[in-house]
Chain A
Amino acid sequence: MIDRDRVRTVMRKDWVEVVRSPQSLAALLVVPAVFVVALPTVVLLLARQPGFVESADDVRPLLDVIPAGLLPEGLDEVQQLVYVVVVFLLAPFFLLIPVMVASVTASSSVVGEKERRTIEGLLYTPLTDRELVLAKILGSVLPAVAITWLSFLVYTVLVNVLGWPLLGRLYFPTWTWAVIMLLVVPAIAFLGTSLVVAVSGRATTVQGAQGVAVLVVLPVVGLVVGQAAGVALLDVPVALVAAGAIVVLDVVLFRFAVGRFQRERVLTQL
């Protein structure tokens, strides 16, 4: 049986450590800031300039492959381009944010504890392997999801405010992105973190543990590219199926991470 209070205690301790580390905070906030603020601001300000349509040659082919139902009706070409960039090209980065944030915090909280020689103290307590692994995963997943949701809120406000002069309406988030935020983001954050924690017991450096997150990042990057190419467009049914599939993977990977966690390795590979 899992003692929730012990799990919460380790999670809370990990959060305090992250919040009080300027390096960790910077690593967590820079990527969302670029994706959420910098990129959409540049795009939406450029969209107001004459010649935007001509400068968006690379994006225009996407208009031809997007199924009619996924684009609102009555948009002119500029409006369509803005909509495509905001909804189909930039928004998929919200799937990268939780994986990247969670992998940074998870690798730091497991391998970092090994490097700082603090983890043996935890191992001498009544914490079970399952509790420790769950605490390390949730301690990274929850902040990652919170940062992603906060970023999404900022992005939503920003693209609607900056996009209002162009589209004259609130156009983001779409139902697809609402589903993705609520279901896919937590699931994919859990997936990336579980993977990092599973290898962290054996990794000796933070960078080594973070490297494995590439296994989750790459499919997400593929999804971003797929969106850009118009071959893997997300809609509500696809998002629901993806969320279900990732949750199944989460359960499998969590069990794997617990089974793979060995106090002996953690102690002898400090």
Chain B
Amino acid sequence: MRRWVLLLAAMMAWNIAGYALWRAPRVDAVVPPAEAPRPERIVSMAPNLTEILYALGLGENVVAVTSDSDYPPQAAGKPSVGSFWLPDIEAVIAGRPDLIVTLEIPQQTNLVVRLRRMGYRCLGVSIWTVDEFFRAVETIGQATGQPVQAQSLVSGIRQDIRRLTETRAGKDQPRVLWVVQREPLRVAGRNTFINELIELAGGQNAIGPTLHKYPPIGAEQVIGANVEVIVEPAMTGGDLVEQRRQALAYWSHLPRIPAVANGRIYVIDPDAVSRLSPRLCQGIESIAACLWPADSGG
């Protein structure tokens, strides 16, 4: 019995000692400077953040990017810090960054906690909607000392969007099914930025409100949704013609839905529609080209 008491006491003493050693408030705690200087070495933790940094003219200051940062092409040549969902913290530190720009997603908030503990300056932005994208550009502009560039980038994109939507004003809104994955069938729901892009392109999402962001649906719902246009972003690096052939073959089992009957099945380049980036308008245009093939001369 005595040895158990001793063991328990030792464990308690160890933990109390640890608390005193590590968690007690320190007098000489590192206080980060209130007015941070303009960052010179920036690490980008997501492909769309890389695009924003380049669009703000900070390409020279970007020292490392995630492995999927493929645009602009010169970004792909920068040192890699792993994927944006499983980042390599050693590579981040090796870049000797004075600013790390991250997305506010769970995999990265954990990284931010760890980096901040070591005294690194991190900036987290949330980019789930078009509005949040604009706000993120402004936040990043502020933090990097480029507020004017950020403003003009945002107003430029807003103007382009206005120009695009004006040309479609008053037209019918085709019902679009945005296919994320064919087997099992998963589509973009209402609560996604894809939904916003479809609406900005002048269409409407054929799928009503759903529990999931990207709901799995059955043939019954597809028929019930009266789909007029089916759009599939291609697999990255895939052959568009071959993928369109596969899509047509897949959808031929539902010949009566309007999109299939009229052959309005499109496979598009996923590049500009896979992320909210400064190339937002290109994405909207490529969707509009599917909805209004006559307008775009296609």
A and B found bound together: no
